[in-house]
Structure 1
Amino acid sequence: QTLNQLLTEMDGFDNHKGIVVLAATNRPDSLDPALLRPGRFDRRIPVELPDLAGRKAILELHAKDVKTQPPIDLSAIARATPGASGADLANIINEGALRAVRMGRSRAMQEDFEESVEVVIAGQQRKSTVLSDHEKQVVSYHEIGHAIVAASMKEGAPVTKITIVPRTSGALGYTMQVEEDEKFLTTRQEALDKLAVYCGGRAAEELIFNEMTTGAANDIEQATKLARNMITRFGMSEEFGMMALGTVQNAYLNQDTSLTCAPGTAEHVDEAVRKLIEDAHSRALQILKENKFKLHELARYLYKKETITGQEFMTLLKRENPLMPPKPQA
C-alpha cells in the first residue's frame, strides 16, 4: 500500500512545479523495479566510502570546530583510516578533542588524533586487564612475528606501530600497517603476502613457545576470508581459474558471500583455501626462523616498552648486532 501510494504521488507531480524527490537506501537490491523506472527515481548516485582525498576533506571539516595545536597533519590520519566512513572520521576528531581535555590541555595535538584512530579501530586502552608475565611475553612475540613477516615483504605496507596494551575490543595487542598511497587493486602476490603476515603471529608462538593460544582467532578469521575470496571471487587459483564460485550478498552492507557451486566443488574450494593458508603459514615460519635472533631482541624490547613506533622497529630490525652470526654472502 505504501509503495502504491508513493508511486501515485510521484506520478502526480507536474513538470512545471520544479520539485525534485530524493531518497536514500543501503538496500538498493531489494527496491521495487517500479520505483526505479524513468520519471520516478531514475537517477542512482552510489555514495561509496570516502577515498584518501575525501577522508582528508571530511577530517578538515570536523577539525574546524576543535582548537588545535600546530603542527597538525590530517593527511597522515586520512592515510591511517582506509575504509572509514564519514561518521567514523567525525568520531576520530571528537575522540582526539576528548583525549586532550582528559590530559588537561586546552588544545588538541597530532598525537591525540593518532591515538583516537586506534580508539575507533581497536577500542579504548583497557587498564583493568592485567596480563601475567608469560601471557605478556606471548603477546610480544605474537605481534613482533606479524611485524617481522610484514617488514620482509617487498610490496607490503610499512609497519607504523606495535603495541601490547590490551584494548576494549578484546585485542591484547596489535600491529598497525599504513599504506603510503591508497591502493585500489591488489595483485595475487600481494594477497599471498598479506596471508603470510596474518599467519606471522601464530607462527612466532609455535616457534618460540611450541604451543598455540587463542590469540590468533582474529588473524585466522581474516586469513580464511581473504583466501576464500581469492579462490571464489578473484579467480586467483590454478584449479578453478576465472570461475566465480560465490556471490556477494549485499554490496552496501557487510559484503558477505555465499557459495554458488555444487557440494563436490565446495569441498575442493575448502581444500584449496586450506592449502593457501598452509603455504602462507609455512612461509611465515620460514621467515621467522631466518630472523629468530631479531625476533627475540625485538620481542624483549616491546615487552619492556609496551608500545613502539614503526621507526623504532625498523631501526632495531636493520641494526647489525655484533653477537649475531654474519649472513652468508650471495
Structure 2
Amino acid sequence: MQVNKVRADFGELCVTTTNELSIESEITPASARALRENPSVCASGKWDAIAGTFATGVIKAAPLSLLRNWFKPEVMLAGVIDGQMIFKAPKSAPATLDANIQTRDGKLIYQFQGGKVETYPLRQATANASLKNNIFNASLIMDWDKYGTINADGKYTLTDKKIQAKASTALPNLAPLEGLLPMLNNVVGSANGNVNVAGTLDKPEVTGRFELTGGSANLPKLGLELKNVSFLITSPSVNSAHVEGKITSGDGTLVTQGNFTNIGSPDWHWQANVFGANIRIIQQSQLTANISPNLKVNASSKAIELTGSTEIPWARANVKNLPESATRVSSDVVIVKNNSALEAVAKKSIPSATRQGKVGNRLLITRRATSIT
C-alpha cells in the first residue's frame, strides 16, 4: 500500500477458502472440476488526485456452501460462484460500473424427515449491474429448471431519479423454497406474478399481480397442517392493491380481504378484514385450541388500529401437575380434579360465556374472548 497527498495505491487483497463438496449421490465431472479450483475473493483499488478512483473485484469459484447459514440445517449446497466488478470514477467525468455475478453447477440438496434426499438443480443464477452516462441498469435471472424461474430488470436515471423496472415469477413447484422456511415442512403449491415499477424514486408507480395457489405445508412446532392455501394480490391501478387470502387449518378457514392505497407514499393506508370459524391454531399433546376471529385492521404510517373480537370456541389442556410457582389462577379458569369438585363448581357463579367439562384427566374449556379495541 502506498499513500500520499496526491495518490493512493491499495494494492490487491485476496481471501481464499477451501471448496468442500456437499454430500451427493455421486461426484459429477462439473463438481469434480470445481473442487480442483482455488476459491478466492480479490479486491484492488487506486486513487489519484487527477485521474480519480479505480477499483476492481474478482470472485473465483467461491463455494455456494458459504451461504448455508441462510438455509435450514437439512440443506446442503453444491456449486460455486464467479463474478467480477470494475468501478471507475474519473475526476472530470461521470462514474462507471460494470459488475456481474453468477453461479456454476449450482444445486440445493434437501434431506427430508425419514432420510429421503431431493436435489434441486439451479441451472442459472446471474445478476448484472452497470452504470454509464448516469444511467444505472440491473438484471437478475434465476432458473430452477422444472421448478420455475424468476426474472427482473430495471433502469434508474441518476439525473432525474426516474425508475423503469419489471419483475416476473413463474414457479409451478414451490418445493425448493422449503429450504429457506425454517418453520415449514412439506411445502406444496405454485406461484405466478409480475410487477411493473415506473415514476420516480420519490414517487414510484407500482402495478402488477401475484398469485399463490394450491398451497399446503406443515408447522411441526405447532402441530398444524395448513391446507388450501391461496393468496392473490392485484394492482390494476397505480399504487393501489387488493389482497385476498385463505388458509385452512383443522376444520376452519381463515380469510383475509383488504385494500392497500398510496403504495410507496408517506400517506399509505391499509384496510383489511380477517375472519373465520373454528381455525386450529395449535395441536399438541399438552394443548389444542381453535379460534374464530372477526377483526378489522386499519393501518397507516401514523397508527395501527385493530378492532373486533376473537372467540375461542374450543380448547383442551392436558394438565398433569402445576408448578409451585402457579399460585394465582385467572378467575375464569377452573381446574376439575374429580366429580364432586365439578358439582361444587357448578353451584358457583360462572360467567355465561365460559363452559368447562372433564374427560379423563383432560380439562376442556370453551370461552368467548373479550372484544379488542
- The TM-score, its normalising length taken from structure 2, stands at 0.22
More helix by share: 1
More strand by share: 2
Decide which structure has the larger Cα Rg and report it: 2
Higher relative contact order (CA 8 A, sep 6+): 1
